[in-house]
Amino acid sequence: MEFDVVVVGAGPAGLAAAIRLKQLQPDLGVVVLEKGSEVGSHILSGVVVDPAGLDALLPDWRGHDDRPLTVPVTDDRFYYLGPAGGLRLPNALMPKLMSNHGNFVGSLATVSRYLGRQAEALGVDIYPGFAAVEVLYGDAGEVVGVASGDMGVGKDGAVTDGYTRGMELRAKYVLVAEGARGSLAKGLIRRFDLDAGRDPQKYGIGLKELWEVPADTHKAGLVQHSFGWPLGNRTGGGSFMYGMEDNLVSVGFVVHLNYENPTLSPFDEFQRFKTHPMMADTLKGGKRLAYGARAITEGGWQSVPKLSFPGGALIGCAAGFVNVPRIKGSHNAILSGMMAAEHAVRALDAGRANDELASFEDAWRSSAIGTDLKRVRNVKPLWSKFGTMPGVALGGIDMWCEQVFGASPFGTLSHGKPDHATLKPLAEVTPIAYPKPDGVLSFDKLSSVYLSGTNHEENQPAHLVLADPSIPIARNLPLYGEPARLYCPAGVYEVVYADEASKTEPRFQINAQNCVHCKTCDIKDPSQNITWIPPEGGGGPNYPNM
């Protein structure tokens, strides 16, 4: 199949790119591949949306009957949490960029579905349930398209009765919008050395639940961010609670993946966080409706790879445009999709194809995206270097200096080593003991995965691939206690024993059916032994309005 432009990923960046392409050149052939069963089914974010991206892409969106954002922020709070209480930080102390007034509380999945409808109305072809698994290259090594995965291949690699061969989709340009740690983006970065001269990309894992709460504890438009308990000073992260419409509350937790203690479980930290009185007062008497988790890019300015390569570009979280202190990236994702589309159209108008969109790479750092990321570039490194309390204070000072003087007293700090290299051996840490879930505010992994709607065809090749199957037991278990069983938020990885009591004959077990596609294993595994590849299209979580 031949197209002018192929877009991989039907999130905000990919759909914005598709829309902008058709706005500028209605006759272009544009297709969007989406590995989820429908647009939005794999989209998870907090989310408080800065409308700058939507305003630029669709200036009249607020007048649409099906507009995706209807709850403006009315109350903006920031807390430092202790075990039993919290200290509210005055809004006057916050740099201007940290204010959420003018933003909207909502669902990024709902935003994506809205953008999908807008794209289709313009003539964009969207193929949900088709996972792009391979980049196609031309004779000169340029990108000329992508291939979707085969359907109906069994665990043993043999075709089944339901076999359908994957498609080759060839294009003059390919825009990769897979989100954080995308498998195609990972390969492209390696092949074209796109991260040369950049800091390692940094990540967090975001976990989220959607609750329906009693009307008397619900406040639509409330945005509450917090840091501190239950995480220690050496572990970065934060938490949020957002008041949505219809008595819905979005509650979530982020752990920076450069944590050091291999016995830390982001999932259990999240469950413990909800028992804090400030959260429990809202959630008690409510009902948990949905759960999910997803890796987040956190490297920012220093870690964004080169975006252009022969035949295409990286956009959105595949590139890494999250503003960490603001906990926002969807506006930059949309703007990056628009910008890539504009540069692609100029190239197509000039009769070019499958070459490098060098002008896009040159332009983004001087754009609104670059401005947004550059002014907060030192917040994450300061937090990582000095710990939570000193790091947050220094980060605040740094943002104020950027606001007042347009410069940082620290210059541009480096992130240091990649997240997979930060774990300490078990012998050097104090093991963390987590309380058992109470079934009211805190829950176990399996009941949580059920609420993610996750499902995969069981008879298919493994999509979690071990380069060396011996490493989990031979190296990771004695050295780190095999951290995969803890950093995975879905219970995918287990160490099982022939005799649990005596802990004899350990075996590493992968429950791939549980995978919520967060990509944390691909990022945090200390041996970089696990590679996440797309499973059969349509598999994975099925998020409603997450």
DSSP string, 126-156: EEET--EEEEEE-TTS-EEEEEEPPEEE-TT
**Spatial distance between the Cα atoms of 111 and 545, rounded to a whole number of angstroms:** 9
Amino acid letter, 284: K
- Residues 506, 438 share a domain: yes
Let me know if residue 458 belongs to a domain. yes
Q: For 26-76, what is each residue's pLDDT tens digit? A: 999 999 999 999 999 999 998 999 999 999 999 999 999 999 999 999 999
The pLDDT value recorded for residue 433 is 97
369 in the same domain as 447: no
Of the pLDDT bands very low, low, confident and very high (cuts 50, 70, 90), residue 83 is very high
Domain boundary among 323, 356, 374: 374
Cα angle value 524/526/529 (rounded, 5°):
90
Same domain, 6 and 120: yes
Res 56: pLDDT: 99
Domain total in the chain: 2
Establish if 241 belongs to a structural domain. no
List the structure tokens of 494. 């287990």
DSSP string, 483-527: THHHH-TTS-EEEEEEETTTTEEEEEEE-GGG-----HHHHH-TT
One DSSP character per residue, 249-299 reads EEEEEEEETT---TT--HHHHHHHHTTSHHHHHHHTT-EEEEEEEEEEE--
In a domain, 271, yes or no: no
The residue among 340, 358, 374 that closes a domain is: 374
Token output for 302: 């220093």
- Before 390, cis peptide (omega within 30)? no
Three-state secondary-structure class, residue 338: helix
CA R_g for the chain: 22
CA–CA dist 67, 120 (Å, integer): 16
pLDDT (0 to 100) of residue 490: 98
pLDDT on residue 502: 86
Range 260-294 burial, b when 16+ CB lie within 10 A, else e: ebbebbbbbbbbbbbbbebbeebbeebebebbbbb
Backbone angles phi, psi at 337, to 5 degrees: -60, -45
pLDDT in tens, 172-190: 999 999 999 999 999 999 9
Helix (H, G, I), strand (E, B) or coil at 40: coil
One domain, residues 192 and 323: yes
Q: What is the mean pLDDT of residues 261-271?
A: 99
Mean pLDDT of 207-234: 97
Shared-domain flag, residues 304 and 443: no
- pLDDT surpasses 90 at 287: yes
Whole-model pTM?
0.97
Residue 196 lies in a domain: yes
The closest alpha carbon to 276, from 327, 243, 235, 228, belongs to 228
Using a 10 angstrom Cβ sphere, with 0-12 exposed, 13-18 middle and 19 or more buried, the burial of residue 353 is middle
45 shares its domain with 138:
yes
Q: Same structural domain for residues 525 and 437?
A: yes
End-to-end Cα distance, the chain: 33
pLDDT at position 211, please? 99
pLDDT, tens digit, 9 for 90 and up, residues 466-502: 999 999 999 999 999 999 999 999 999 999 999 888 8
Strand intervals (E) in 304-455: 308-309, 312-314
Same domain, yes or no, for 349 and 437? Answer: no
Q: Provide the token pair at 254.
A: 């982020």
Domain containing residue 146: 2-63+109-200+300-374
412 backbone dihedrals φ, ψ, rounded to 5°: -125, 115
Pair 207, 252: CB distance under 8 Å: yes
Please check the confidence at residue 276 and state whether its pLDDT lies above 90.
yes
Q: Which of 325, 344, 374 is a domain's end point?
A: 374
CA 44 – CA 210 distance, rounded (Å): 11
Strands (DSSP E) found in 19-114: 30-34, 48-49, 71-72, 75-81, 86-88, 104-105
Q: How far apart are CA 19 and CA 35, in angstroms?
A: 19
Q: Is 467 within the bounds of a domain?
A: yes
Residues 6+ apart with CB under 8 A from 123: 22, 26, 30
Q: What is the DSSP letter of 390?
A: H
Give the per-residue pLDDT at 39.
98
C-alpha separations of 284 from 276, 291, 313 in Å: 11, 17, 46
State the CATH number of the domain containing residue 487: 3.30.70.20
Same domain for 346 and 455?
Answer: no
Quote the percentage of the chain above a pLDDT of 90. 98
Do 126 and 6 share a domain, yes or no? Answer: yes
160 assigned to some structural domain: yes
Residue range 373-411, pLDDT digits in tens: 999 999 999 999 999 999 999 999 999 999 999 999 999
- Model confidence at 142, pLDDT cuts 50, 70, 90, reads very high
> Has residue 86 got a pLDDT over 90?
yes
Provide mean pLDDT across the span 349-372. 97
For 352-364, what is the mean pLDDT? 96
Mean pLDDT over all residues of the chain?
A: 97
Cross-strand pairs, 363 = none
Residue 489 lies in a domain: yes
Are 323 and 376 a contacting pair, CB within 8 Å? Answer: yes
The verdict on residue 158 lying in a domain is: yes
Whether residue 366 is found in the same domain as residue 441 = no
Distances (CA, A) of 489 to 209, 268, 271: 12, 9, 11
CATH code of residue 334: 3.50.50.60
What local confidence, expressed as pLDDT, does residue 500 receive?
Answer: 87
Residues 362 and 481 in one domain: no
Say how many C-beta atoms besides its own lie within 10 A of residue 499's C-beta. Answer: 8
Confidence (pLDDT) at 501:
86
Closest CA to 118 of 334, 347, 340, 348: 334
Cα distance between residue 362 and residue 308, in whole Å = 9
The 10s digit of each residue's pLDDT in 437-455 is 999 999 999 999 999 999 9
Strand 143-148 relative to strand 104-105: parallel, antiparallel, unpaired? unpaired
Question: Is the separation of the CB atoms in 330 and 43 below 8 Å?
Answer: no
